[in-house]
Structure 1
Amino acid sequence: MHRTTAFLLGSMVWLAVTGVVLPIDPKPAARQAVDPDHAARMARGLEIFKKHVRPILNKHCLQCHGGEVTESEFDITDREHLLKGGLAGPAIVPGDAQKSLLYHVVNHSKKPRMPLKADRLPAEAIQHIAAWIDSGAPYDRPLIERGDSAAWTRKVVPEEAKQLWSLLPLQQVEPPRVVDPAGWVRTPIDQFILAQLQKAGLEPNPPVDRRKLIRRAYFDLLGLPPSPQAVEAFVNDSAPHAYERLLDELLRSQHYGERWARHWLDVARFAESHGFEHDYDRPSAYHYRDFVIKALNEGLPYDTFVRWQIAGDELAPNNNLALTATGFLAAGVHSTQITKNEVEKHRYDELDDILATTGTAMLGLTIGCARCHDHKFDPIPQRDYYQMLSAFTTTVRSEIDLDLDPDGYKKAKAAFDVEHAPYTAALEKFARDQLPTRLAAWEASPASASLREGKAWTTLEPAAMQSEGGATFSKEPDGSILVTGKNAKFDVYTITATTDLVNFTSIRLEALAHPSMVKGGPGRASNGNFALSDFRVSVAPRMDKDAKAQPVKLRSPRATFEQKGLPIAAAIDNDPRSAWAVDPQFGKNQAAVFETESPIGFEGGAVLTFTLKFNNNDGHNLGRLRLAITSAPQPELVGDGVPASVLQLLRTPAEQRSEEGRKSLLEWYKRLDPEYRKLEQAAQEHARKAPKPNIVKALISTEGLPAVRLHTQGEDFLKETHFLRRGDPLQKEGVAPLGFLQILVRTPNPEARWPVQPPPGSRTSFRRKALADWLTDVDHGAGHLLARVIVNRLWQHHMGRGIVPTPSDFGTRGERPTHPELLDWLATELIRNEWRLKPIHKLIMSSAVYQQASTIDPAKLKVDPDNRLFWRRPSRRLEGEVIRDAMLSLSGQLDPRMYGPGTLDPSSKRRSIYFTVKRSQLVPMMVVFDAPEALTSMGERPTTTIAPQALLLMNNPQVRSYAQGLARRLTIGPNPQTEEIVASGYRHALGRQPTAEELQQSVAFIRQQVDSYVGSGKPNGLELALADFCQVLFCLNEFVYVE
């Protein structure tokens, strides 16, 4: 690998300060057999050392053989000194206790017997030492740390180590002057390319023909084939700007975002399941995929694209796109089966995935390699790793409710409000002009007298409400209680109310529906149910505050509905395993009445305490309830209850009521007046037609909201990130403050440049915002490298390989750029164009180097076999997604719907990007054509040629259905001739006319297939033969490759 002299010296300095030793053995080592059990044996040995051997050595040996005292020059503080031994020679032979001096001296089978002048160690301790040596004698850390053990947490990278080409600021370069008598140069890009070609004595390839050029452009930008009409129009358009207009049209297409989102999702290791052995689904993760598509189509500047993925919830908390962008952090694998003791280790693994992916995706640096030690090749100390890691310490996966189209909802709601206004006006006019008179007439009726006498239900007004599970209670105008907020696994509601009613004999509990609950409730469970396992009532005199509440004995329970096996009687049977429930009567009001064993009440009023327990099923708590009492014998289960305050007003003469009292009574009477109820019902019927916001669950990454819990997780995630020696959570070296890569900081005071300043009352730390600021800072931070990496990715997908051939490794182990000046010029153009990607696409595709033919010239191939100088634009095989989408499009079956949940159904007609990416169940067609497993970031897919690819195209039932669809399209029209069908098939699938030989062979093939099918008794022989022909077109190299 080539290195400049300056950087070679810098690398030597970095290796020196990191303490890396590279031994050189002039004699080749003998090849050793690979031991497949070595890793497992060492792991067992390390466990033995931690649990048993370390305490033994500390207690019995360290006093004389470690620290300041080393008798017989024998030091046991670390493995290196144990192997070296003392005056008596090496103390251990890893893997063989019987040959190890340490084992024999503690076993007293050899002198000097140890511990000196002490009893022999217990047999169990000696067995542990022997087992540890036999396993290889692994050490985790020294028994005594020497010097400043935490010095590495303060390591400073020397300036000499920062001279790697990718870490330097962008060079302000001008396109080189070139001699171009043929007029090949079309853009400044071509000047950079031609200059290098001329130095090598090479000439670029001639331009590709226009049919191949439009096909190339379509597949590069849209991932779909051009229609025959589009091809002919472009071929016949002689206007000088015809190609420019084509590029503009393609970049405006919504399919552009679908095509290029797939490239980024590879880099982001996006999937819709957690991974590991259970691989549970993430049903709300698709919003991140939709964000990427929308962001690309809308031309979101790339620096904003990056910033939102790191800290969208902090930068733009009211922007749906910004919130869903944080799905980038949540896209990695996530174990759902961890024990309490594994929470911390798992969390550090997860944070490592986030940081490592951020580093490779956005900066092209393998930051994750510095987890356990300083990076062995790049100047990234372990200190920087943990300080960057701390940006994500309290970031968790969380699900939020998201309105997918808030602007559309506001517009529709405003239009509906105009339509609904007459209903509201009619109600207001009736209440103002007629309701008072009708109330007075009703008060003089016998119905009013019955209510005043207390013969109807009296609704209790709660004075105090409490939920042991942390739920929130709110009083509704109708006297009911709405329960929202936290829905605990099991809960207990305690409600207190007062009443002046004396001698009441029945209590009613209503379980009421509400639109805020699943299926309308009345329960808060995921199916709308509840399970009331215990209902208890106690009473005390209101006037005697010292009196102890007495339990009320309940009997003869009745209910409007009882779930099979879960009757109302179960609520008062003192059995916590039984309960009252109402499945499947969801979305309906239910009621239960309990008689008291004797009349209840006190002169001066009573205080009632109701206790409702929900211990029968997880989350089956009641969502809306109302309590009422009555003294009427055998009261009805249902019927309007009268609040105590209204009852008091009814018993007060009209002339003595206050203005507020008159208004309250009038408001209550609305429920009884038939004419008002008729108008109200009409208004409610119309209100049901009101538009509703499109609320869905979205998986985001944020702080301060409930995390997506793991199935066996017993504790919350850590609140601080520590420096970890060797990456081990058991070896902490203090809390790691937020920091950045020293190699990409060009300011003496980074804390002031990128401060962590959460606004007052913020639920997030704003550490991720500081990280996002540094990532995109082109003056003092990582902005220049960020720009280099993304323009290289664009070039890679247009030209087949990047200017830097290792697109996710811009470090010393990656390859150097073939055209460093061109790379810096493109990065500068990106920043100058306000980080917009579409102008860079157009710039690259407008160049002569992009428009070259893919023809291989043997002479040029000999000089530059890998095409590093880009003397041709190589042909490339399409990805599995694009091959499928192309066949689907040609069949006429493509479903153009965008966004939304994906599917695993192989017969789906939507584009392949909408396939659900389930890590344990990848779509076979995508896998066989090299789609990634989405476990780690992938910047460049491999391109394999294997037999299953051809077999899939020839035998897959979906491919066959696409071929049949294309065949039907080719036969539309009056009696098409076979020659016309063949020519049309070539124009659709390949964008060109068949040659005379191809035409002749295709016609002969179709006729032969027709004869074969008809001869076997199949009357639709022509239909089947044409499908065969179309399937053959799909199998051609020319179809799956783009020149």
Structure 2
Amino acid sequence: MASGLRRGYNGSLLELLGFRDRSMFANRQQLPCHLLPFFLHDQTAPPVTRDKVPPVRPSFDSYFRRVKQTRSSIACAFRAATACVFIGLSLACHVASAEPNDGATAADQEAYFETNVRPLLIKHCIECHGPDDQSGELRLDRRSSVEKGGGSGPVVVPGQPQQSSLIRAVGYSDLSMQMPPDGKLPPEAIGVLTRWVQTGAYWPEEKDADDAHKTLSPAEQIDAMRQSHWAYRPIETTPPPAVKNNDWAQQPLDQFVLSRLEGSGLQPSEPADRRTLIHRAYFTLLGLPPTYEQVEAFVADQAPNAFEKLVDSLLDNQHYGERWARHWMDIARYADTAGYMAGSRETRYPYAYTYRDYVIDAFNDDKPYDQFVMEQLAADRLPDVESNPQSLAALGFLTVGRRFMNRQHDIIDDRIDVVMRGFLGMTVACARCHDHKYDPIPTADYYSLYGVFASTDEPEELPLLGEPQPSKSYDAFLQEQAKKQKEVDDWLEETRVKTEDELRSRVADYLVYFAQTLPQYENKNVKRQGKRGSLRPEAIKRWQDYLAQYEKAPHPVWSLWHRLAAIAPDQFNDQATAIFAETSDESITQVSPRLLNALRAEPPKTMVDAAQRIGDESEAVYGAWVEANKAEEKPTRLLDDADETIRQELYHAQGPTSLTSEQMVTYLDQGQRNKHNAMIGKVKGVEVSHPGAPPRGMVLVDKKNPIQPVIFRRGQPGNRGDKVPRRFPQVLEHVDGGKPFSDGSGRLELASAIANPKNPLTARVIVNRIWQHQFGQGLVRTASDFGTRGETPTHPELLDYLAAEFMADGWSIKRLQRRILMSSTWQQSSSFRQVAHDTDPENRLLWRMPRRRMEFEPLRDRLLVAAGRLDLSIGGRSVMIHQDAVRRGLYAYVDREDMPSLLASFDLPSPDASQAIRAQTTVPQQALFLLNAKFVIEQAKALANRTADQADVAARITSLYRIALSRDPDSVEIENATAFVNTQHPIDPWAQLSQILLLCNEFAFVE
């Protein structure tokens, strides 16, 4: 049954739903939209047409009667009618899960293997199971050896981790076989290996280079690849080829496409009608549907340049930037959190939204793509940064990635990957542990780039993106921030006063400690403990530094201290008595009479006794001052001059018993520190969550002293090899002359090399990405891998033509978009033709426009548009889209650690790595959401309510179609819908009819 559902199951679905009357299809080539929910649509099979509908079906009326009889709910009717369909889908999904991958391309699988699996095997397994040693006859460094297994047979069963002895061994589930023997791998590493086996244990093919290639030096091999591989060769423009059908080709783009079609004996499809074109253009450029009025106005506009005007208006529309920013955010692995972090550390990126808003503005402003590249890598180093501080938000491209438990090597690896795959289509990260297996990327190139990003830091305080603009919201933010900060300051001041009181009342404890630690006493294990508890380490350091200042200078207290501290222990009694008796020595005559008299009255026998006595006298003075301040009239000094001298010492601003607020923070104990952090968190919370808080950029800054990178052998930081310069990859050294980077970290030089017009990859890669989102597939289908393992272009001359024109047009993405949309190629219909399909089943030659299903964000947006609830405001903080949020889908809060299942079910890509192409799955969760989710049902009710003021049934049905599908219903649709809503239902039939419209193919697919 599963295979039947995956191919041409539409007729069976009609049987399930109970149709038999063919007359209902008389006026429409394809089935009416409400017969087939989009999530059961087979995109690869030709559409069901009226001539393929089986002749015997129950009538449309009988279907609506069935709806009434099935628990009085249209959702229940769909559940009952498609129950076996869901079973079939589940079976199909189960079968698919046993395949070598779960929808990922070979390039994705290879990237996962080279980035995650091979490094684990090298680190933990190769020493005992590699080329030098094969313990248990098992070798784990080659595909053929892994397939063969060891002495006890295969260790990996693709798709079945439970049956794979490798997984049992690393999981320590088999007591007789636990690997590595010196300790169990961390759970994250076991998860990597388990996922690898579960998804088919993909291992790239290993091919030996030919003998001639083996004789070349590494530099010669790179040079040979530079000359032979299409992507590394300079962009070349060739004249558009001659074609037979010159009338069809509106521009050179069409000639390149038509030449390939004619050479294969094919012809392009007929032009799409105007209704199709406007829907396609709106979806492609805005991700929003046109209104009924906009469709009718365009259809009625007979001007030759009507479509040209439409395209220009859409490119100028402020929502254009939102649509295309979402595409770029997949590449930039955008998320609002850092991913899992140990402990209770904050994982939120409070200012990630500023990067998303920067990208929106960049597309809306048609920022030249070379400048777009430069700002995302080095905005802080560009000359206009002071006049354009908003550009600092662009650096979020580097900083919004996953944080890998703060493992810096992995964070840098992620940044290398997103830059090189995102801008250049180069899988440089595969060279982290060894030279790239297929592409001319030695490990030295990887660590050259590693040195660039290792030479950067993220500042503690992120910069404002310009001066905040005065507003009520900003004023409210300042007031709330000041309120929370005052709470912190008041508590800290209260704590500071108490701590100073403690320090002044424990002078003896600290002085005794220092007396005990004098070198001549040879006390090696003196505890930091006084009569009244532990001594503060910070206070010990302050006392130590303070006492050292008066080792030679006269002082009313500490001159005497240093004289006594210099006496040998066995001579202390005699020498101390002699010192107290002196009357002419300045170091004695300036000593506070109170201290001197106290020591003369009963001379101390040891330095510890002297320290105790000096401390006691100081504490007595402190006590006298406290008592004096209890009087109603506060004193300004102590009456006794000798006491006042000591008091001034205790309250000296630079003394060890006085603290500033900043110093107080370092004195906090663990409990106080937790409270202080919590209060600071509330201040930060206002800064990151208050609607009036000014935006800040998630920036990087260059370190003062750049890092000298070295190669990590086998990717291990502890196994250091040769030094390498920070520089651009050698295969592209002709771009910048191969000079080592010398300006700070090298980010600016790296950005300049990527944005250099001589770079053969940059323009090709972005042009291909734009083409991919216009046609559903790129001219190069491996959009982030232009290496030797990636696919070659289907139309290489066209790709180079567009890349050259793109640069000649000032790197303008809007001009590129306009060029594509105005082509006959893009304006073809999506009609299926069997002959063309037999020749080119994957439509690589572009004989028709591919039919495409909307991604989740525009689909959800369209539901809200139909309900009249979509909030079209632009920019700002992310929202919890799985809750009752009505903003556009690209503003969804993306939590790496807790991705809403709704987003994952509808193929929102993982933000853990750069994603070039979204998977497009058909799974039961999608159907269940659209049939039963409260969100969808509420939008259906809201759609019905928008027409509730219309008493005429036919007029109301027409309004529903106009709102939901931007067209009028035909007579059959009005007739059947009228029959349905006129039948008594316990649930509002208008809401049910509205939901049918929201579930149909026409609503969710773009022709």
TM-score clears 0.5: yes
Contact in 2 for aligned 1:518/1:527 (Cα 8 Å)? no
* Alignment partners' CA distance in 1, 2:365 and 2:733: 32
Alignment partner, residue 277 of structure 2: 213
Alignment partner, residue 171 of structure 1: 236
Alignment partner, residue 771 of structure 1: 750
Task: Select the residue among 991, 1002, 1006 that pairs with 1:1038.
Answer: 1002
* Alignment partners' CA distance in 2, 1:41 and 1:741: 22
What per-residue deviation string (whole Å, max 9, x for no partner) do you get for residues 739-788 of structure 1? 1111112168422xx7523xxxxxxx241001001111123xx3x31000
* Alignment partners' CA distance in 2, 1:1037 and 1:875: 11
TM norm structure 2: 0.62
SS at match of 2:722: strand
CA deviation after TM superposition for structure 1 residue 828, in Å: 0.7
Q: What is the correspondence of 1:539-938 to structure 2 with a 5 Å cutoff?
A: 547=591, 550=618, 552-554=621-623, 608-610=651-653, 611-612=658-659, 613=664, 614-616=667-669, 617-618=672-673, 695-704=694-703, 719-746=707-734, 749-751=737-739, 755-757=741-743, 765-779=744-758, 782=759, 784-905=760-881, 906-938=883-915
CA deviation after TM superposition for structure 1 residue 796, in Å: 0.6
* Alignment partners' CA distance in 2, 1:379 and 1:913: 37
Task: Select the residue among 286, 293, 298 that pairs with 1:234.
Answer: 298
> In the superposition, relative to structure 1, how do residues 386 and 984 fare at CA in structure 2: closer, same or farther (>3 Å)?
same
* Paired letter, 1:176: P
CA deviation after TM superposition for structure 1 residue 719, in Å: 4.4
> In the superposition, relative to structure 1, how do residues 311 and 856 fare at CA in structure 2: closer, same or farther (>3 Å)?
same
* Paired letter, 1:288: Y
SS at match of 2:673: coil
> In the superposition, relative to structure 1, how do residues 806 and 412 fare at CA in structure 2: closer, same or farther (>3 Å)?
closer
1:296 aligns with 2:363: yes
CA deviation after TM superposition for structure 1 residue 805, in Å: 1.3
Contact in 1 for aligned 2:638/2:644 (Cα 8 Å)? no
What per-residue deviation string (whole Å, max 9, x for no partner) do you get for residues 134-154 of structure 1? 999x9xxxxxxxxxxxxx998
* Alignment partners' CA distance in 2, 1:168 and 1:77: 36
Alignment partner, residue 403 of structure 2: 334
> In the superposition, relative to structure 1, how do residues 373 and 1028 fare at CA in structure 2: closer, same or farther (>3 Å)?
same
SS at match of 2:919: coil
> In the superposition, relative to structure 1, how do residues 918 and 158 fare at CA in structure 2: closer, same or farther (>3 Å)?
closer
| Aligned residue pair count | 688
What per-residue deviation string (whole Å, max 9, x for no partner) do you get for residues 919-950 of structure 1? 12223332221111211111111111222212
Q: What is the correspondence of 1:116-127 to structure 2 with a 5 Å cutoff?
A: none
1:269 aligns with 2:333: yes
Q: What is the correspondence of 1:91-106 to structure 2 with a 5 Å cutoff?
A: none
CA deviation after TM superposition for structure 1 residue 618, in Å: 2.1
Contact in 1 for aligned 2:859/2:1004 (Cα 8 Å)? yes
* Paired letter, 1:406: E
Range with bigger deviation, 594-603 or 914-923: 594-603
What per-residue deviation string (whole Å, max 9, x for no partner) do you get for residues 304-338 of structure 1? 111111111222543333211111111221133x6
Contact in 2 for aligned 1:524/1:619 (Cα 8 Å)? no
Contact in 1 for aligned 2:123/2:716 (Cα 8 Å)? no
Contact in 2 for aligned 1:522/1:530 (Cα 8 Å)? no
Task: Select the residue among 482, 488, 500 that pairs with 1:535.
Answer: 500
> In the superposition, relative to structure 1, how do residues 1007 and 557 fare at CA in structure 2: closer, same or farther (>3 Å)?
farther
* Alignment partners' CA distance in 2, 1:1033 and 1:526: 60
> In the superposition, relative to structure 1, how do residues 532 and 328 fare at CA in structure 2: closer, same or farther (>3 Å)?
farther
Which structure shows the higher helix fraction?
2
What per-residue deviation string (whole Å, max 9, x for no partner) do you get for residues 24-60 of structure 1? xxxxxxxxxxxxxxx999989977998xx99xxxxxx
* Alignment partners' CA distance in 1, 2:920 and 2:439: 29
Alignment partner, residue 580 of structure 1: none
* Paired letter, 1:930: D
> In the superposition, relative to structure 1, how do residues 862 and 517 fare at CA in structure 2: closer, same or farther (>3 Å)?
same
Alignment partner, residue 352 of structure 1: 413
* Paired letter, 2:287: G
Contact in 1 for aligned 2:453/2:745 (Cα 8 Å)? no
Contact in 1 for aligned 2:725/2:741 (Cα 8 Å)? no
* Alignment partners' CA distance in 1, 2:409 and 2:970: 62
Contact in 2 for aligned 1:880/1:925 (Cα 8 Å)? no
Where in structure 1 are there 5+ consecutive unaligned residues?
1-38, 55-75, 85-92, 98-129, 139-151, 339-345, 417-512, 560-567, 570-590, 623-691, 706-716, 758-764, 1014-1020
Alignment partner, residue 439 of structure 2: 378
CA deviation after TM superposition for structure 1 residue 815, in Å: 0.9
Alignment partner, residue 491 of structure 1: none
* Paired letter, 2:791: E
Contact in 1 for aligned 2:736/2:753 (Cα 8 Å)? no
> Higher relative contact order by CA 8 Å / sep ≥ 6: 1 or 2?
2
CA deviation after TM superposition for structure 1 residue 992, in Å: 2.1
SS at match of 1:1031: helix
CA deviation after TM superposition for structure 1 residue 523, in Å: 3.6
* Alignment partners' CA distance in 1, 2:492 and 2:886: 32
SS at match of 1:733: strand
CA deviation after TM superposition for structure 1 residue 990, in Å: 1.9
Task: Select the residue among 950, 954, 972 that pairs with 1:979.
Answer: 954
Task: Select the residue among 259, 272, 276 that pairs with 1:195.
Answer: 259
Alignment partner, residue 545 of structure 2: none
> In the superposition, relative to structure 1, how do residues 987 and 132 fare at CA in structure 2: closer, same or farther (>3 Å)?
closer
What per-residue deviation string (whole Å, max 9, x for no partner) do you get for residues 494-543 of structure 1? xxxxxxxxxxxxxxxxxxx9999663426459999866441158798699
TM norm structure 1: 0.60
* Alignment partners' CA distance in 1, 2:480 and 2:494: 14
Percentage identity across paired residues of the two chains: 34
Task: Select the residue among 974, 983, 991 that pairs with 1:1027.
Answer: 991
Alignment partner, residue 33 of structure 2: none
Which structure shows the higher strand fraction?
1
* Alignment partners' CA distance in 2, 1:604 and 1:532: 19
* Alignment partners' CA distance in 1, 2:324 and 2:491: 38
- After superposition, the CA RMSD in angstroms is 4.5
* Alignment partners' CA distance in 2, 1:43 and 1:384: 21
* Paired letter, 1:721: P
Q: What is the correspondence of 1:431-580 to structure 2 with a 5 Å cutoff?
A: 519-521=484-486, 523-524=488-489, 532-536=497-501, 547=591, 550=618, 552-554=621-623
Task: Select the residue among 389, 393, 402 that pairs with 2:454.
Answer: 393
Contact in 1 for aligned 2:238/2:797 (Cα 8 Å)? yes
What per-residue deviation string (whole Å, max 9, x for no partner) do you get for residues 649-681 of structure 1? xxxxxxxxxxxxxxxxxxxxxxxxxxxxxxxxx
CA deviation after TM superposition for structure 1 residue 882, in Å: 0.7
CA deviation after TM superposition for structure 1 residue 693, in Å: 9.3
* Alignment partners' CA distance in 2, 1:888 and 1:366: 39
CA deviation after TM superposition for structure 1 residue 218, in Å: 0.6
CA deviation after TM superposition for structure 1 residue 179, in Å: 2.2
CA deviation after TM superposition for structure 1 residue 294, in Å: 1.3
What per-residue deviation string (whole Å, max 9, x for no partner) do you get for residues 49-87 of structure 1? 98xx99xxxxxxxxxxxxxxxxxxxxx994389999xxx
What per-residue deviation string (whole Å, max 9, x for no partner) do you get for residues 157-191 of structure 1? 4421212001110002222222225x222222111
Contact in 2 for aligned 1:967/1:1027 (Cα 8 Å)? yes
* Alignment partners' CA distance in 2, 1:953 and 1:817: 38
> In the superposition, relative to structure 1, how do residues 516 and 748 fare at CA in structure 2: closer, same or farther (>3 Å)?
closer
What per-residue deviation string (whole Å, max 9, x for no partner) do you get for residues 326-379 of structure 1? 11111221133x6xxxxxxx2222211111121111111111111111111111
What per-residue deviation string (whole Å, max 9, x for no partner) do you get for residues 881-932 of structure 1? 1100111122111112222221225211111111111012223332221111
Contact in 1 for aligned 2:237/2:801 (Cα 8 Å)? yes
